A and B are shown apart, each in its own frame.
Chain A
Amino acid sequence: SAVISQKPSRDICQRGTSLTIQCQVDSQVTMMFWYRQQPGQSLTLIATANQGSEATYESGFVIDKFPISRPNLTFSTLTVSNMSPEDSSIYLCSVVLGRETQYFGPGTRLLVL
């Protein structure tokens, strides 16, 4: 398995501001993803974080709103830009090990006022 840490674990932000979430993995991984989990909902994939190139975004998510960096195989950041209350969610970093087994970080709980 992988040990995944995220910072911050939670934050309360004002609308119009931006927050950058960090994800650190204890081993090198090829596949890394960012998910959003709105209150009481399942997980929605935001994007695949690609090392050395631009992230691949899912329908409904754009780079201007959710810029992602992946400078190496153990680290990634997700920024939530120009936040509104609708961005209040849990943001989860995830990696794949082995053929298809996915592991998740503890999540960042964001509340936008």
Chain B
Amino acid sequence: GDSVTQMEGPVTLSEEACLTINCTYTATGYPSLFWYVQYPGEGLQLLLKATKADDKGSNKGFEATYRKETTSFHLEKGSVQVSDSAVYFCALSDQGTGGFKTIFGAGTRLFVKA
């Protein structure tokens, strides 16, 4: 079945450091790919998405490119801030014959130190 694997955390960075959170997926169809962010004490917020191969999603300085050849959707940011401290979830969604489904990764906790 479909699955999403993302790097284990926690990831601890200093402010202004570069961030990469790896995410790879397996899917039988042609899913859309997403990154969600969960700030402490809050629900999930959609951070960015890409719906087809080679699409790049971007938001708030974060980027991720849908790479079909490597089945990856790595999250990157050039300079993190303390306010980026949160849990990040990679996910895929597909509308197939079995209906709509979303598969979430395990989540990666990011701590950014001042």
Contact = CB atoms under 8 A, between A and B. Distances in A.
Nearest to A56: B99
Given A31-B100, A43-B89, A103 B46 contact: yes
A104 B49 CA distance: 15
B106 interface: yes
B34 interface: yes
Give the secondary structure class of B's interface: strand
Interface residues of A, number: 20
Contact of A100 (B44, B93, B105, B106): B93
Contacts, number: 50
B87 to A, nearest CB: 9
Interface of B: 31-32, 34, 36, 41-46, 49, 51, 89, 91, 93-95, 99-100, 102, 104-107
A43 B32 contact: no
A41 B105 CA distance: 10
Nearest to B106: A42
A100 B95 contact: yes
Contact of A105 (B43, B49, B91): B43
Give the secondary structure class of A's interface: strand
Contacts of B99: 48
Contact of A43 (B31, B95, B104): B104
A82 to B, nearest CB: 26
A67 interface: no
Interface string A81-113: 000000000101000100111111111010000
The residue in B31, B43, B94, B95 that gathers the most chain A C-beta atoms within 10 A of its C-beta is: B43
A100 B34 CA distance: 10
